[in-house]
Amino acid sequence: MSETDTVAGRESARPATGGRTAEPAGPRRAGDRRPYWTARRRDQLTGYLFITPQLLGSAVFVILPLILVVWYSLHEWNVLAGTFDYVGAENYQALADDTNLPGVLKATGLFSIGLVIFNLALALLLAVLLNQRLRGSIVFRTLFFSPVVVSLVAWTIVWGFLLQDNGGINGLLDTIGVDGPNWLRGETTAMLSVIVVQVFKNVGLNMVLFLAALQGVPGELYEAAEVDGASRMRQFWRITVPLISPTILLTSIITVVGSLQVFAQIAVLTQGGPGTSTTVLVYYLYQQAFQFHHFGYGATLSIVLFAIVLALTVLQWQMRKRWVFHES
């Protein structure tokens, strides 16, 4: 019997309901050999073949680096000397003894909090405004979204010029009689500057997501609320926010994770200064690994970063029961 016949014969044994029962009904006789290439196995193979490229990609570019980072964190790697020595938990001990780390975590926290608040608030405000039926709203949407597609480094370099002591921002302030600060040289203003540069870069992405969510809110709910005499503000808090809460959750996760990975803006604008006021965790990790050649310690710091991102994402995901009122 050919394989085709076998498969065809087994296919005919399927129930007419279209169920996926793989085993033929009835007692099996001794000496009977079940065909290996059953339809179920064939379907499984097809499925695995389809996901193989993605699995391979994930294994090589996600899982393997993750494993290697843990491996590196247990070693001291002197790139120049070409030595790679097992040091056990020494790098983790160094983490506990690192006097710079509290300041780095504080800067990271300040940046993330500032970015999340400014970004989400501005994105929602812009989305609400651009959701109105106004003339030219498409042009404004395009304008606000355009920084998202601009090269990050080019964007940051331009802002670097604007934020100089004699740059464009202070020039504008000067025209209204305000003596602007030296934005990138003051500890508070430097952090604020980096946050603002990042907010303007990516606010368009969250704005578009909010806009899409706002357009999914049924109009009749507002009509009913108006009939009941609800104010615009009440409508916003009682109808809009609950119905777009899944998008608020999504954007907050994306923004928090993104904020913890900020690098280019710091490298171009402040290089972690003044002092160490803008040395966030990713930049500190880069310094340790690539500038100071402490690759093992850099790997240990990257595990800390991974743990923070994971913990915050899980926390946000768990809190969705409180935040998200409407989830499809």
Partner 1 sequence: MKTGKGLRVTAAALAGMVALAACGGGDDAADSGPATLRMTVWTANEAHLKLFNEIADEYKKTHSNIAEIKFDPLPFDNYTTTLTTQIAGGNAPDLAWIFENSAPDFVSSGALLPLDETLKKTEGYGYDDLSPATLKLWQDGGKLYAYPFSTSPFGVFVNTDLLKKAGQKTPAELIAAGQWNWTNALAAASAANAATGKAGIVIRDFDYKGWDNLSTYFTGWGAQAWSADGKTCGFTSPEMVDAMTTLHKAIFVDKAMPGPGTTADFFAGEAAMTVTQISRASLLKKDGFGWDLVPLPAGPKGNYSVVGQAGLGVLKKSKHAQAAADFLAYFTNATNSAKLAQFFPPPRQSQLTAETLAKTNPTLTPEQLQKVVIDGITNGVVKPNHAGQAELSQQVRASLDPLWKADADVKAVLDGVCTKIQPLLAK
Q: Interacting stretch for partner 1, rule CB under 8 A, among 24-32, 181-189, 203-211, 248-256?
A: 181-189
Is 64 an interacting residue with respect to partner 1 (CB under 8 A)? Answer: yes
CB atoms within 10 A of CB 275: 11
From candidates 98, 182, 241, 249, binder to partner 1 by CB under 8 A: 182
CA dist 132 → 136, 137, 197, 307, 322 (Å): 11, 8, 27, 41, 29
> Which CB atom, from 84 or from 323, has the smaller least distance to partner 1?
84
Is 271 an interacting residue with respect to partner 1 (CB under 8 A)? Answer: yes
The angle, 0 to 180 degrees and rounded to 10, between the axes of the packed helices 64-73 and 295-318 is 120
76 vs 86: CA distance, rounded Å: 6
> Which CB atom, from 123 or from 299, has the smaller least distance to partner 1?
299
Please give the residues from 134 up to 153 whose contact with partner 1 meets the rule CB under 8 A.
none
Q: Interacting stretch for partner 1, rule CB under 8 A, among 56-64, 129-137, 206-214, 241-249?
A: 56-64
The sign of the torsion formed by the CA atoms of 295, 300, 305, 306 equals positive
Buried b (16+ CB within 10 A) or exposed e, 110-121: bbbebbbebbbe
Is 96 an interacting residue with respect to partner 1 (CB under 8 A)? Answer: no
CA dist 50 → 36, 39, 44, 283, 299 (Å): 21, 16, 10, 38, 34
> Which CB atom, from 183 or from 210, has the smaller least distance to partner 1?
183
Q: How far is the CB of 205 from partner 1 (least distance, A)?
A: 29
Is 166 an interacting residue with respect to partner 1 (CB under 8 A)? Answer: yes
> Which CB atom, from 53 or from 229, has the smaller least distance to partner 1?
53
> Which CB atom, from 155 or from 295, has the smaller least distance to partner 1?
295
Q: Interacting stretch for partner 1, rule CB under 8 A, among 20-28, 182-190, 224-232, 301-309?
A: 182-190
Phi, psi (deg, nearest 5) at residue 84: -145, 95
What token pair was written down for 45?
Answer: 């193979």
From candidates 19, 27, 82, 102, binder to partner 1 by CB under 8 A: 82
Is 21 an interacting residue with respect to partner 1 (CB under 8 A)? Answer: no
Is 38 an interacting residue with respect to partner 1 (CB under 8 A)? Answer: no
DSSP 3-state assignment of 38?
coil
Q: How far is the CB of 288 from partner 1 (least distance, A)?
A: 9
Q: What is the 3-state secondary structure (H, E, C) of 139-180?
A: HHHHHHHHHHHCCHHHHHHHHHHHCCCCCHHHHHHHHCCCCC
Is 178 an interacting residue with respect to partner 1 (CB under 8 A)? Answer: no
Is 78 an interacting residue with respect to partner 1 (CB under 8 A)? Answer: yes
CB atoms within 10 A of CB 133: 5
Beta partners for residue 283, in sequence order? none
Nearest CA to 320 out of 264, 231, 253, 266 is that of 253
Please give the residues from 281 up to 300 whose contact with partner 1 meets the rule CB under 8 A.
287, 290-293, 295
Q: How far is the CB of 179 from partner 1 (least distance, A)?
A: 13
314 vs 157: CA distance, rounded Å: 35
> Which CB atom, from 197 or from 211, has the smaller least distance to partner 1?
197
Q: How far is the CB of 130 from partner 1 (least distance, A)?
A: 35
Contacts of 6 (CB under 8 A, 6+ apart): 35, 37
Which residues in this chain contact partner 1 in the complex, by CB under 8 A? 59-60, 63-64, 67-68, 77-82, 163-167, 182-185, 271-276, 287, 290-293, 295
